[in-house]
Structure 1
Amino acid sequence: MKMNDAVFGELEFNGYDWIGYKNMEFFGTEVRVAVIVSGEDEEQFEAGQYGAYNFLIEKWDQLQQSILKAILDYYKQERYELGYEVEPNETYPLIETATQLLKQITLVGIFVPDNDLINLFDIGLTFDCTWDMENGLGICLKKGEVMQVGYQDVVL
């Protein structure tokens, strides 16, 4: 089943969620991201979903810096907890700057939860990352504030 939503664009229902694709700029690089909107096949989205998505798109240029800082903090903490400060590991190289970090991550998805999750977060972002190809990286945002950073499954 397919539909064309005025806000989310062309979407296809996969049995669980609605999925479409959008080109976005992330720190000067255009990437194609999956837009996943939680919802039933009745094609009716909630006002909160539109609001959260529109907020993300409108504030995207400003939000990128705080998102990148949160990822860098998370990465440094993960590296420390795994002991790679002492015993170097080529999978988890020393990354100290945003520029170094940008070479290791790729924005791949935007998840818009329904009202069941909207109290926890209103937008999820997923990234592929070189240090954990299997689990990737996920960020939960609420009104533009980073609430949680972890594996992709924190979002989905």
Structure 2
Amino acid sequence: MIINDAVFGKIEYEYVWSRDSTVEFCRKEVDIALMIDDEEDGEFSEKQYTSYNSLIQNWEYLQQSILQPILDYYKQKRYELGYDVSYNENYPLIETAKQLLERIRLVGIYVPSARRFEGRYIGLTFDCAWDIENG
């Protein structure tokens, strides 16, 4: 089923509502999947609309603010795997957000069903160069 939602645009239901889209992420145009979790009836909650609109309104700030936590996560994983003391070409030393951006790619924005969480939530999905299997 395909609907034209006032907020999410033209989306198709195939176990999840989705559409392909292009967004700017850190000064680069990227192709992503916008995914909205809800029932097949296409009646989305106000929380979902508010979450998505908030993301769009704050996108410039948010895309910069998420880089450091991703970098921190990478450094922690690298440490846990022992690659901070033993070299692994798949887990190179990455110390800056600029270096990180060379190794990650935004691939999706996920708007979960409002029933799943109390507050407003949005998920961002990335592919990365160091863990091909899990993205």
Using the size of structure 2 for normalisation, the TM-score is: 0.96
1:76 to 2:75 alignment: yes
Q: Deviations over 1:78-109 (max 9, x none)?
A: 00110001111000000000110000000000
In 2 relative to 1, CA 89–25 (structure 1 residues): closer, same or farther, beyond 3 Å? same
1:134-153 superposed matches below 5 A: 134-136=133-135
- AA paired with 2:77? E
What is the deviation of 1:4? 1.0
User: Corresponding residue for 1:94?
Assistant: 93
Please identify, of 109-118 and 81-90, the stretch whose mean Cα deviation from structure 2 is larger: 109-118
Structure 1: segments with no counterpart, 5+ residues: 137-156
User: Corresponding residue for 2:22?
Assistant: 23
Please identify, of 62-71 and 114-123, the stretch whose mean Cα deviation from structure 2 is larger: 114-123
What is the deviation of 1:121? 5.8
1:12-91 superposed matches below 5 A: 12-14=12-14, 16-91=15-90
| Larger Cα-atom Rg | 2
Task: Calculate the aligned-residue CA RMSD, in Å.
Answer: 1.1
Q: Distance in 1 between matches of 2:99 and 2:59?
A: 21
Identity of aligned residues (%): 56
- AA paired with 1:100? Q
Which is strand-richer, 1 or 2? 1
CA contact (8 A) 2:47 2:120 kept: no
Q: Distance in 2 between matches of 1:68 and 1:32?
A: 19
1:107-118 superposed matches below 5 A: 107-118=106-117
What is the deviation of 1:21? 1.8
- AA paired with 1:60? W
Relative contact order (alpha carbons < 8 A, sep ≥ 6): 1 or 2 greater? 2
Using the size of structure 1 for normalisation, the TM-score is: 0.83
1:11 to 2:25 alignment: no
